Structure 1
């Protein structure tokens, strides 16, 4: 079944461009970080499926452009359209750039789009002609310069600038502390970051302020509704290679200025936090609408266009995907289903303490538990030849620089996922029902770990692996335990903790947490059912801005 264009609407090729009369256009932009861009394609698919009078336009950078095209390839043709009836326009308007640096090319490209003039894609060379003026923009709140440019270009439209919805690719609970006002327990604005710097700052100006807005932990207790409490320094459980303080300050400025927020979450995950944000921060005080739209992942079989993560295609015989499947098939025969632990900290993070990392790896393998290690971070210290040899030659282990995560998580041999707790990884864990063992670093990761492992009793968190001045301070959830039960954060303590954890994974507690995680994942994915929360949120948005 195809999704037809409405009567009178048509797409036409014009000098290597496209015209879209009588169609509505939703504009997207996210900073050049993959976790901020990937979910756009899933939401675009859902919206295009729901409204035949709609096109989507995404501005991006050259480093993200090919990845977005690969995600679009997973969407069925009857939704995304053909080359002549393309309903998703992905346009590279920026050279490779730092995620927080203003892109000088953005403003003239958006101004051309707004005026109906040709917009050229830097990667493909294609000129897009006649794309309709956007009716609403969905913008990453950390791209403050984009919001400023859009407001300037679109005034007065018709009674003010173009409506802007903040694009929050995370749960909403951690936003309360990171971006919310002080009266709700948030860090609050410092008032020291100028709009001029956000809009026009040079690389030297931006990078010199990367750590200028870090809130010094005081040991106060953070209490977010529906979530176990933690000390504020527990938001920084690891020494990390990058600081998010400038990112967070930009978010504090712009989230509250938007007309609404898309948040990739669900009430089954954090109902109390969602209600708290609506009641006390956004909807009633500011008139800004919260749209919970989780989950968003093209790993979802309802989005995928025939791509099987466990199928090896022509020419892939020696690809990481094929090698992962070969290893997992072997471990399934040797050790059984759900026997393998997959360890990955995403594309950025990596433990700073090698001794603790290898203590965990060695204990896992010493127990007879198979392991897959992914190590893509550009900030990690090179793994020594002896360590790589140990992994590569071990009969129960394998490693990848870039692991085919979806293939690994979907395989029946994979049982547990040691993860930093990033939201995209957590969503994929939900989809494939692989419970997590958390090793959080910062941002929303400590929150996700606490929600899943403590509130929902659906996972575990490693504690003694914490590092740094803040990470090795007392832990709130253990405050009533005797000294003998307190974490000591030593390598020996890490080894003892992992041994105990491995016993739990194979016992009743592990089975109970697996069941709870599977139930939570099923409830989360139900958001896009006919009467689901995510679908209702999308319909609310489309009725307001498109119908």
Structure 2
């Protein structure tokens, strides 16, 4: 009889929900897939409530009935799910026994009554200074912390997964393991993005890497007397008017990021070293929660560039979501109640697939051009297109006059937060206007929703190109694109960005007409085919192979 030895991995995330959420689900899927794995998640106090809420979410419950694993596999039977409440309780407990969450903060840190950008920045600095002590306590019994209970005291960690935008982690781990005189733990980086964008971020400058180019230009400007913060702001989302080709995607000028989202200099200072840290000798691999089969050229280029294994784990959803199960949504607050009532009403009034969901995530908003949101919402209203708008960004609330105007229109619904997974899977929802962040893109694909893309920054341009130009399941809005330098107003495909209210509204009307016409239905069919490819990879393709390998990467 073979005895499977228990193993244990540590996860070090950032406090950004768009990064933490897919890493959380990756971790939960790993301990569900690998019966011997145990997980310790080190979080900050500000993000802990959202993590706990996610773990209790019926929409994303990771527990499902397992069948006895066959030879060489620990896979569950995807056709069996929560058959009885008692069974679910048992399964919940089984996973809970393999998971522990530790709040990583120093005793000196004063928890604020309300979180702000300033207090979260302070928390981030405290986390960076404190996390070595917590890791040391997990690795060595001799350094355990009196105030922290370690459920897995007798299961020493085998490997560590960390968000690559915490570039100090490789050096921290080297220092911890050297001090303990223990061999280095394998480190696996996590990038909540696709292979093309990851390549663009981490590649060497000679091959087209954005962070390496920005680093050099920042150093040159500082050497020439420019203020450090000013130099970082200048090059955070730099546009230089040069043609750039990213593997597997069409060429563009610079892969322009919209100059509508101000980047705090401290934020860019913190993440730009990640390009160098990602190639640290201690890093054994990188996880992308996207699908290799839909961007094979980019995956090949990324593996060649990084020189180690890229785990293309696929979008991270529970098995029940892949099986198409959508529990009856339960409202948790007034916003939820408002949204659910609206969608039910629109289904009766306009039919299925009649509503467009508008959301730019919880971080992004065209702060320097807020009129863009007004143009979009008024255009939807004027063209009789029912919509839900979630304005969760802290950068700007919806203007009071616009809110009143929307409240007076029975075909519109504006809320601060919307339960996105429930919204995109409601029968009334037919389309998704998004910034094309990783999480929103994955949810749109799984819900089979044609998209309208309005990328701002980071990896959103690469996701948009993949969706709109390669798979043709999205329409990329071009007249809203904004450049820092006016002469960069011509896109590589020849489109002239006029950018006036008239030009934007004309493009928007054409977009709504397209969505509601034959091409919109063709986009929906293409999205179904894209989902099928991604689902197959999750079931028995590269995603499944890499998820199995990731759970044993320390062997």
TM-score by length of 2: 0.82
Alignment partner, residue 256 of structure 2: 235
Alignment partner, residue 311 of structure 1: 329
Write the mapping of 1:34-433 to structure 2, written as runs, cut at 5 A. 34-73=17-56, 74-76=61-63, 82=93, 86-94=97-105, 97-98=120-121, 101=125, 103=127, 104-116=129-141, 128=151, 130=153, 132-155=155-178, 160-187=183-210, 188=212, 190=215, 211=233, 214=236, 216-232=238-254, 234-243=255-264, 245-257=268-280, 258-279=283-304, 281-283=305-307, 288-298=308-318, 301-302=321-322, 308=327, 310-312=328-330, 316=332, 319-352=334-367, 353-380=369-396, 382-433=397-448
Q: 1:336 to 1:173 in 2, by over 3 A?
A: same
Contact 2:29/2:318, CA 8 A, preserved across alignment: no
Contact 1:453/1:461, CA 8 A, preserved across alignment: yes
> Distance between the aligned counterparts of 1:183 and 1:121, measured in 2?
50
Offset, 1:50:
2.8
Q: 1:39 to 1:457 in 2, by over 3 A?
A: same
Offset, 1:102:
5.6
Superposition RMSD in Å = 3.1
Residue by residue, what CA displacement relative to the aligned partner does 1:173-193 show, whole Å, maximum 9, x if unpaired?
012222210121113263799
> Distance between the aligned counterparts of 1:167 and 1:143, measured in 2?
10
Answering whether residue 519 of structure 2 is matched by residue 494 of structure 1, we say no
DSSP-derived class of the 2:233 partner: coil
Answering whether residue 554 of structure 2 is matched by residue 545 of structure 1, we say yes
TM-score by length of 1: 0.83
Contact 1:42/1:303, CA 8 A, preserved across alignment: no
Answering whether residue 548 of structure 2 is matched by residue 527 of structure 1, we say no
Q: 1:131 to 1:411 in 2, by over 3 A?
A: farther
Contact 1:165/1:261, CA 8 A, preserved across alignment: yes
> Distance between the aligned counterparts of 2:384 and 2:146, measured in 1?
52
Identify unmatched segments of 5+ residues in structure 2. Answer: 67-90, 110-118, 220-226
Offset, 1:542:
2.9
Q: 1:109 to 1:311 in 2, by over 3 A?
A: same
Answering whether residue 452 of structure 2 is matched by residue 447 of structure 1, we say no
Residue by residue, what CA displacement relative to the aligned partner does 1:329-365 show, whole Å, maximum 9, x if unpaired?
1111111111111111110111232333212211111
Q: 1:129 to 1:300 in 2, by over 3 A?
A: closer
Contact 1:41/1:72, CA 8 A, preserved across alignment: no
> Distance between the aligned counterparts of 2:326 and 2:473, measured in 1?
29
> Distance between the aligned counterparts of 1:265 and 1:60, measured in 2?
24
Contact 1:24/1:54, CA 8 A, preserved across alignment: yes
Offset, 1:159:
8.2
DSSP-derived class of the 1:142 partner: coil
Offset, 1:55:
0.5
Q: 1:192 to 1:469 in 2, by over 3 A?
A: closer
Write the mapping of 1:513-524 to structure 2, written as runs, cut at 5 A. 513-524=523-534
Residue by residue, what CA displacement relative to the aligned partner does 1:111-150 show, whole Å, maximum 9, x if unpaired?
111112586698xx75646152211111111112232211
Offset, 1:209:
7.7
Residue by residue, what CA displacement relative to the aligned partner does 1:262-291 show, whole Å, maximum 9, x if unpaired?
111112331111112223x023xxxx1111
Contact 1:100/1:206, CA 8 A, preserved across alignment: no
Q: How many residues align?
A: 498
Runs of 4+ in 1 over 6 A off after TM superposition: 77-80, 156-159, 191-194, 205-209
Offset, 1:430:
1.2
Offset, 1:215:
6.9
Offset, 1:299:
9.0
